[in-house]
Structure 1
Amino acid sequence: MHTETGRSQSVPSEKPGTTKEQAGSTSLAATAPGQIRVIKRNGTVVPYDDSKISVAVTKAFLAVEGGTAAASSRIHDQVRELVGQISATFKRRMPSGGTIHIEEIQDQVELALMRSGEHKIARDYVLYREEHARLRAEKEQQKQAATAPADAHPSIRVKLEDGTLIPLDMERLRTIVSEACEGLKDVDGEAILSEALKNLYDGVSENDINTALVITARTLVEREPNYTYATASLLLDKLRSEALRFLGVAERATAHEMAELYAATLPAYVEKGIELELLDPALATFDLEKLGASIKGERDHQFSYLGLQTLYDRYFLHSNDIRFELPQIFFMRVAMGLAINEEDKNARAIEFYNLLSSFDYMSSTPTLFNAGTLRPQLSSCYLTTVPDDLHGIYGAIQDNAMLSKWAGGLGNDWTPVRSLGSYIKGTNGKSQGVVPFLKVANDTAVAVNQGGKRKGAVCAYLETWHLDIEEFLELRKNTGDDRRRTHDMNTANWVPDLFMKRVFEDKEWTLFSPANCPDLHDLFGTAFEERYEHYEKLAAEGKLKLHKKVRAVDLWRKMLGMLFETGHPWITFKDSCNLRSPQQHAGVVHSSNLCTEITLNTKANEEIAVCNLGSVNLAQHIGEDGKLDQAKLAKTVKTAVRMLDNVIDINYYSVETARASNMRHRPVGLGLMGFQDALYKAGISYASDEAVAFADTSMEAISFEAISASSDLAAERGKYQSYDGSLWSKGILPLDSIKILSEQRGEQFIEQDTSSTLDWDSLRKKVSKQGMRNSNVMAIAPTATIANITGVSQSIEPTYQNLYVKSNLSGEFTVVNPYLVHDLKDRGLWDKVMVNDLKYYEGSVQKIDRVPADLKAKYATAFEVEPRWIVDAASRRQKWIDQAQSLNLYIAGADGRKLDLTYRMAWYRGLKTTYYLRALAATTTEKSTVNGGTLNAVSAGGSNGASAAAAAPAPAAEPQAAPVPQACSLDDPDCEACQ
């Protein structure tokens, strides 16, 4: 019926951080530039050949449709097109050549058949593969039964680094696989071992043995999500050998042996790290014996494959490309770094370690990178205001460079800089406006690439009344004068309430140069409205010549149109950020940060705001009964807030203004991740009133405990310097500040729930008595990378897809929703056909007839959740948060009306900020194969990934087809400064 396109042999050595293709190109015989090679099952490696795929696909068609003349003509054309698509996929993935496994080719054949609508042929092809896999397995079993005992493998010898050949140690191999699968349901260690052995050959290296095990296990993830944990444990065997040998502790160790070896590894690690000038010598002053004894080696088994690979590639300390940190050593290093100034630093280090290693809470990426090192830059993001003079502008750009060098994400307020056409007294000339300086800031972000770890990441903010706003909106366009474009920098609108009122009322809006009305920059609420109308009156009287009148709705449409087309500028709201800020007495919030969750005061040349982030893993705080475990949450939050407060004193500040500001106000941003996982555990659909209520009560609990913890720290360590006069000092908590916003904005322009369930009166009394240690305590960051580490959904996001390939710097990883799989298994619905259906429908269950309605509701993906549910849940959270949320909006069938309604609702419901727009146009979109990873590719629109629509009309026009959305541009490391 069909012919196979190849058979497998030796799997290439795969260094962590490379894809299979990259690994193959370096581990097998030299591959000519641009040449793709195929690993066959019989052990040979051959050139990629289109004709063999063509034969196999043609026979599949003939088996179903027969060989009539009419059928043959259609088959020939269809096969040629399908084979062309398949070949193009591999050439696109490996433009410089590489190596692929035969199974990957066959996967692509299946998917190409399904995508083209050839379902009968695809089904026949799937059945054919399954039958031949069964026959191969039977043949292999018969062969094994006739050979030597299972623990003897005389035909395979292992080549050591010095060239020595030794027999393959089957006993150890079985031990490693057995330990990797220990306690995992529906995971077959024998299946991993037997399949991996097929890919071994005489003279195989130790690394290639591990790679064979890892690749075998990870290909099974889409069948059973628990294989991801087995894959991680198998990978860990290699990591242990690498680190233990380097530290001189042991040649290698099994997972069970590490229970004892971790204690001996910690002092050796600290000694070596100090010797290499990578660790702070102060770490040697800890009781390393006590800390080593407290390490819980069994927690290594919590990692998913993606999580462990991410740590290995980007977080573990290394010397000459040798990683000598192991997971629990890594967490202990971070814990020691954060406890270094504590009075009882050993006890605190153990407390911090237990919180991190349990995945109940995770510090942000900069803290994980640098805690305990010689340069502890632990803070996540910095906010600056750029002054309106040449010296100050370039001073601000220099600050950007210094802050970015040490891995800080930046938010720049550019509103004070005078507009195009403004008078320059010193030269008697006219200004070129803010755009040329933004171009310089953009190029600086590219040039200073954060120590080689990732690109600099900057977001520029501009208020909506600035005369350059229309050109600012077009900064990310791919057309026009490239000298006035910033392709690598993020942009955001800083929108006053008055503008939104004018949009609602369809009135005119006036644009000004800040050179003529500089005080507008520092005003908000009714004070801003009064002064703005005063300037409008002067303009009408001819006393203020440099201005422009526009229809507010027209400008709003252009804002939404550019957001849809380029992903920028994001829409953030000035007045809700300021009127609900606890620090109104100490200054003005002029912008947010790179990821729109930080709302802190800035002032040119005086205040660079700094924020320190970490996130509670909400999924870890759902009990067996599906309810929030408030006692556990209280314990987690108390320790987390202490860790965040410690960051402020330990942190390395590359700019003195940032240090002074952080010491004065001591803001921190405690957030959350795993919200979607928590809903799954609670049995709640994201698009439901129950989910909105859960968002409310869970954030209320976090807020209550975080404020309480900061107040307790104030009693222990003292209040922050600028506490007096703050809303805290007046007994006004975040919930109470909604009233301030409502009064200033007007009750007809806001609808935000103000109900509560906890004893807030007692907390007000506590804060009144003890004060607060931190000016700001909460902010919800994107958390994409640390969510990968802990194996949960990022931040407050709905599930992107239930099955897809996640692509990042660590390679490509199959991601399957384990909750869905286990629910389907419980109902006898999980099989290979379901896997293929999920691939065909891009991770959606909505069109799969045999999936019950309740599961379709529970497992609706991001674009299947109406945006009103996302906004409503965010509104409920916002009432408890003293800063903001990094909130992505997903809009399917996007058109002008939907965008308009969604963003108006975001403002009306009291949100402070929004982040990326993930938009699918109203017409049918092109499908993509999950195997290619195309769903996750970083968009060409910018370093942080623009919206899903690479090119779309303004919202008022009819929508056109847009590309398939990325799984998550937030997982782009360019943006992980906030995670």
Structure 2
Amino acid sequence: MGAGETCSDIQVVRRDGSLTSLDVAKIRSVVEWACAGYNVNSIALEAGLTTRLRHGISTRDIQDNLIDCALGMCSPDEPEWRYVAGRLHVWSLWKDTQVRRGFAYGNYDHAVQSQVDRERYDRAILKYSQAELTEAGTWINPDWDKDYDYAGAVLLTKRYLLTNELPQEAFLTCALLLASTEKPEVRLTIARKFYEAIATRKISLATPILANLRIPNGSLSSCFIIAMDDNLESIFEEITNAARISKNGGGVGVNVSRIRATGSWVMGKDNASGGVIPWIKLLNDTAIAVNQGGRRAGAVTIGLDIWHLDVPEFLEMQAENGDRRRKAYDVFPQLVITDEFMRRVQNKQKWTLVDPYEVKEKLGIDLAEKWGDGFEAAYAEIEAELDRKITLYKQVDARELFKHIMRSQVETGMPYLAFKDTINRANPNKHEGYIPGVNLCCESFSNVKPGLEAHCCNLVSLNLANLDESEIAEVSQLAVRILDNTIDLTQPPFTDSKTHNDKYRTIGVGCMGLADWLAKRHLGYQSLTEISSLFEEVAYWCTFASMELAKERGAYAAFPGSEWSKGKLLGSKTVAEIIAISQNSDRFLRQSPTEGNSPAMPSRWLQLSQDVKTYGIRNSHITAIAPNTSSSLVQGCTASILPVYSKFFYDKWAKGTVPIAPPFIQECFWFYRENKSLDQKVVVKAVATMQQWIDTGISMELLFNLNQGVYFPEEPERAVKAKDIFDTLVMAWSEGCKAVYYVRTVQKDDFKERSDEGCAACAN
């Protein structure tokens, strides 16, 4: 306030444009409401605001100033100010909505009809009668809006809510639509269960579902994988398909391993092919041009098998030096690696890079389709024909090539690594094909056939931070039901993805907030028995739910002849293998909320195996753990299953920095080990433990702190060496991890950020 100016002299502009005298009591009331229940001093917030008041200030400006004050007071000692800021943001949302449409919460049926009339909501919501919508509106609990910190509240508002829509209305509408495929006599009951699980942040819907389900003609699938054949028709058709996926906000993996190498033959002319890079550049430019409705550039990961002759140039296509016409800076490179290559890396042997076109023409081998023993036999045959039938090749030192990969990862965070043999050994649909590589976030994959089938998957995540042990069974089953219903609601963006959706019904129930779950129990990432027990519970109940859905709705179309049909579970494991893994797990989690004690081990797995053989399984792939980088902020927990980078840090946003402080990590501040100082071999071992129970994949990022003395306190001068990173990556393969997502580094106590837009486009 100015000198001599009193509160009564200040006129405030209301949200509707009218003027009123400043009422400090109202400000105090809002401040006390926002601070209620938190260990903060509301008087300090009010005092911070008074210096910013002026004549003509708007109520929205007052609210924004309060938010700025609250954020400014947030610190490692007082992290709860970010929740105060979140409540103040929600208060503004409520008031703005009330001014625009005449009411805040209440009149849900009217709000729905208004959104339908303005073509913001899909008319499918009107499958419910007005009476049903009125009843559903009574479930809404506005207090659940008060649980978001500032980062979560802003992301929820800006990324997911439609015009004139409040958070609980969005969640309720999603729940009703997700239950709309159910039988009329039960759909309201099921919709309420969906709503309460979503609204209380026990289940997190992936971005395509939460953002697109309510709008007309929205695509709900998160992850896609396509593959190119070695001809112009296939190449350009798949580029078009990538554009269709990007238009609808999905992330796409493109395998290019079949495309002939640089220097190969074209129309009988030798040394005519430009290799894979020109086609990758077209995909790169497509991702920029088809920018997900203006929200952000498309997100494409390009997969190339490690034996392809163009691998060295592929590793250099994002380097600053070299021919700019053969660079692709906006895609996410992925190398598809075989066991044979990794063995040669370990043994310091030679590795042969070949042209898939020559191999197919001269030897009749389609090398891109090979994995496991089949690949090793074919590769031995190829190497036996070097300089006779096979003339276009290059031999390199396998370990030096791997070092080249590591250098690229330290510099750019990529390439991602997909362990092809591990992935395909766990493929339940070997009878129908093979998996060529991984999706954008390295957690979701299944069979792909160029021009016929494109991997298509829908995702949700369980928020472990908000789940008690007694809730895991019910919430896991709800998650599977949500995703199976989503398959019938979505409109895949092109024919091959619809074919795949109908044939395999692939879903991915994931988890987030594991770091919170561990911290609440004073456990760490070395607590492998407890981690194994937790993920066994999730695995059992998700698989059980899909089997129950098969009883009700039928098995997925490709079930006959699958590994499932033979009684194998969890990525082609026999019951004996599952029991052997389970015997190393703790038993404290096995309580069912509805049936008393869960079936005793090993009988429940034996029974489930028999039931799957008898009734089938509804979904060919069931569990997959996405990175959840952004959606975890909305959920108020740590991302995915990884340790949190730091107990308190600032995230850089377009409008400045926002404090991030996972709540349960804060409560156990003294106990929790931050990822920036955690040996990544511990992370790898924990992820490998989880992977035993996850039938698809896990987005595993690795973070290496390059500062001295971080991992070796007894050697203060020692920093991470290349051999340490090498050993960790080899360990990831040998321990059974299916992929490595980003490799990140900390240098000079500063977290070097890599782009997270890829994972945001896919799972988040």
TM-score, length basis structure 2: 0.91
Query: Contact 2:112 / 2:121 at 8 angstroms: preserved in 1?
Result: yes
Distance 2:665 2:194 in 1: 33
2:150 maps to which residue? 305
Q: 2:547 aligns with which of 711, 718, 722?
A: 711
Q: Select 1:278's aligned residue among 113, 120, 135.
A: 120
Distance 1:701 1:974, change over 3 A: closer
Report the CA distance between 1:164 and its aligned residue.
Answer: 4.1
TM-fit CA distance, 1:533: 0.2
Match of 1:965?
Answer: 752
| Partners of 2:66 and 2:758 in 1: CA distance | 28
Deviation at 1:741, TM superposition (A): 12
Q: CA deviation at 1:823?
A: 4.9
1:554 paired with 2:400, answer: yes
User: Pairwise mapping of residues 498-513 of structure 1 onto structure 2 (< 5 A)?
Assistant: 498-513=340-355
Alignment-derived partner of residue 87 in structure 2: 233
Report the AA paired with residue 252 of structure 2. Answer: L
| Residue 410 (structure 2) aligns with | 564
- Would you say the 8 A contact 1:247–1:272 is kept in 2? no
Give the SS at the match of 1:212.
Answer: helix
- Distance of aligned partners of 1:297 and 1:164 in 2 relative to their CA distance in 1, 3 Å threshold: closer
Q: Which residue of structure 1 lines up, in the alignment, with residue 22 of structure 2?
A: 168
Q: Which residue of 2 aligns with 1:154?
A: 8
8 Å contact 2:520–2:668 — kept in the other structure? no
- CA deviation after TM superposition for structure 1 residue 569, in Å: 1.3
Secondary structure of 1:154 counterpart: helix
What SS does the aligned partner of 2:523 have?
A: coil
Judged with a 3 Å threshold, the aligned counterparts in structure 2 of structure 1 residues 679 and 289 are, in CA distance, closer, same or farther, namely same
| Structure 2 SS opposite 1:421 | coil
Secondary structure of 1:716's aligned partner:
helix
Shift of 1:310: 0.5
- Using a 3 Å threshold, how does the CA distance of structure 1 residues 195 and 282 change in structure 2: closer, same or farther? same
Structure 1 partner of 2:293: 451
Counterpart residue number, 1:532: 379
Instruction: Give me the identity figure in percent.
Output: 32
8 Å CA contact 2:440, 2:758 repeated in 1 = no
The 2-side partners of 1:488 and 1:610 are apart by: 22
C-alpha distance 546-470 of structure 1, shift in aligned 2 (>3 A): same
Indicate if the aligned counterparts of 2:122 and 2:216 stay in contact, CA closer than 8 A. yes
Which residue is 1:977 aligned to? Answer: 762
- 1:809: how far off? 4.8
Q: Aligned match of 1:326 in 166, 171, 177? A: 166
1:545 aligned residue: 391
In the alignment, residue 133 of structure 2 is paired with which amino acid?
L
Q: Secondary structure at the match of 2:303?
A: strand
Please say if residues 473 and 568 of structure 1, whose CA atoms lie closer than 8 Å, have aligned partners that are also in contact.
no
CA deviation after TM superposition for structure 1 residue 811, in Å: 4.7
Q: Where does residue 196 of structure 1 map in the other structure?
A: 49
Note the C-alpha offset of 1:650. Answer: 0.7
CA separation of 1:820 and 1:737: change in aligned 2, threshold 3 A = closer
Residue in structure 2 matched with residue 355 of structure 1 by the alignment: 197
User: Equivalent residue for 1:140?
Assistant: none
Distance in 1 separating the partners of 2:165 and 2:268: 57
Q: How does 1:459-474 map to 2 (within 5 A)?
A: 459-474=301-316
Superposed displacement of residue 752, structure 1: 8.9
SS of 1:721's partner is coil
**1-side partners of 2:424 and 2:583: how far apart?**
19
Q: Tell me which residue corresponds to 2:620.
A: 775
- In structure 2, C-alpha distance between the alignment counterparts of 1:732 and 1:675, rounded to whole Å: 27
Distance 1:346 1:809 in 2: 41
Is it true that 1:790 corresponds to 2:635 in the alignment? yes
Letter in 2 for 1:207: R
2:739 to 899, 913, 923: 913
1:640 to 448, 464, 479: 479
Residues 559-613 of structure 1: CA deviation (Å, up to 9, x unaligned): 1122222222111100000011111111110010001111211011011110111
Shift of 1:293: 0.4
Aligned partner of 1:247 in structure 2 is: 101
Tell me what 2:428 maps to: 582
Cα separation, partners in 2 of 1:162 and 1:817, compared to 1, 3 Å: closer
Residues 592 and 599, structure 1, Cα contact 8 Å, conserved in 2: yes
State the shift of 1:755 in Å. 4.2
Larger mean Cα displacement after TM superposition, 692-701 or 369-378: 692-701
* Deviation sequence 1:88-146 (CA, Å, 0-9, x none): xxxxxxxxxxxxxxxxxxxxxxxxxxxxxxxxxxxxxxxxxxxxxxxxxxxxxxx9xxx
2:324 is aligned to 482
What residue in structure 2 maps to residue 880 of structure 1?
A: 693
| DSSP 3-state at the match of 1:812 | strand
In the alignment, does 2:231 pair up with 1:418?
A: no
Question: Residue 590 of structure 2 corresponds to which residue in structure 1?
Answer: none
Give CA deviations for 1:942-969 in whole Å, capped at 9, x if unaligned. xxxxxxxxxxxxxxxxxxxxxx423x74
Residue 683 of structure 2 corresponds to residue 683 of structure 1: no
Aligned to 1:316: 161
Structure 1 residues without counterparts, runs of 5 or longer:
1-8, 10-41, 44-142, 250-260, 319-323, 623-628, 743-750, 825-854, 929-963
Greater displacement, 733-742 / 462-471: 733-742
Taking the aligned partners of 1:177 and 1:263, their CA distance within structure 2 comes to: 24
Corresponding position of 2:440 = 594
Give the Å deviation of 1:263: 3.0
Larger Rg: 1
User: Is the 1:598–1:884 Cα contact (8 Å) retained in structure 2?
Assistant: yes
C-alpha distance in structure 1 between counterparts of 2:102 and 2:744, whole Å: 50
Q: What residue identity is the alignment partner of 2:434?
A: V
Indicate whether 1:263 and 2:48 are aligned.
no
Match of 2:716 in 1: none
Q: Select 1:891's aligned residue among 680, 701, 704.
A: 704
Q: Which residue does 2:178 correspond to in 1?
A: 338
Q: Distance in 1 between matches of 2:297 and 2:476?
A: 32
Contact map agreement 1:376 1:651 (CA 8 A) in 2: yes
Offset at 1:554?
1.6
For residues 513-568 of structure 1, the C-alpha deviation after alignment (integer angstroms, 9 at most, x for no partner) is 1112342211211111011101111115x121111111211211111122222222
1:603 to 1:810, Cα distance in 2 relative to 1, 3 A: farther
2:567–2:574 CA contact under 8 A, matched in 1: no
> Quick one: which amino acid aligns to residue 325 of structure 1?
E
Deviations along 1:150-181, one digit per CA (max 9) or x if unpaired, are xxx31322124676431123343233222222
Q: Letter of the 1:361 partner, please give it.
A: I
> Which residue of the partner structure matches residue 951 of structure 1?
none
| Distance change (3 Å), C-alpha of 1:499 and 1:684 | same
Query: Which is worse superposed, 266-275 or 529-538?
Result: 266-275
1:721 is matched with which residue?
557
Corresponding residue for 1:371?
Answer: 213
Instruction: Write the mapping of 1:715-754 to structure 2, written as runs, cut at 5 A.
Output: 715-734=551-570, 737=573
For 1:201, give the aligned amino acid: R
Residue type of the partner of 2:405? M
Give a deviation string over 1:881-931, Cα, whole Å, max 9, x none.
1111000011223432012101110111011101000124xxxx4355xxx
Is the contact made by 1:417 and 1:514 (CA closer than 8 Å) also made in structure 2?
yes
Q: Is this contact kept in 2: 1:339–1:349, CA < 8 A?
A: yes
Q: In 2, distance between residues paired with 1:156 and 1:198?
A: 13
Q: CA deviation at 1:452?
A: 0.9
The answer for the alignment partner of 2:74 in structure 1 is 221
Gap regions ≥5 residues in structure 2: 361-365, 588-600, 707-719
Pick aligned residue for 1:523 from 370, 382, 407: 370
The offset of 1:865, in angstroms, is 0.7
How many aligned residue pairs are there? 723
Alignment check: 8 A CA contact 1:158 1:204 kept = yes
Partner of 1:37: none
SS state at 1:417 partner: coil
| CA contact 2:522–2:668 (8 Å) conserved in 1 | no
- The Cα shift of 1:233 comes to 1.3
Label 1:696 to 1:875 Cα distance change in 2 as closer, same or farther (>3 A): same
Q: Alpha-carbon deviation of 1:810?
A: 6.6
Residue by residue, what CA displacement relative to the aligned partner does 1:812-863 show, whole Å, maximum 9, x if unpaired?
2112354454456xxxxxxxxxxxxxxxxxxxxxxxxxxxxxx2xx332112
Shift in CA distance, 910/820, structure 1 to aligned 2, threshold 3 Å:
closer
> Does residue 654 in structure 1 map to residue 493 in structure 2?
yes
Q: Which residue of 2 aligns with 1:851?
A: none
Whether contact under 8 Å (2:171, 2:199) holds in the other structure is yes
1:919 counterpart letter in structure 2: T
SS across alignment from 2:152: helix
CA distance in 2 between partners of 1:973 and 1:397 (Å): 18
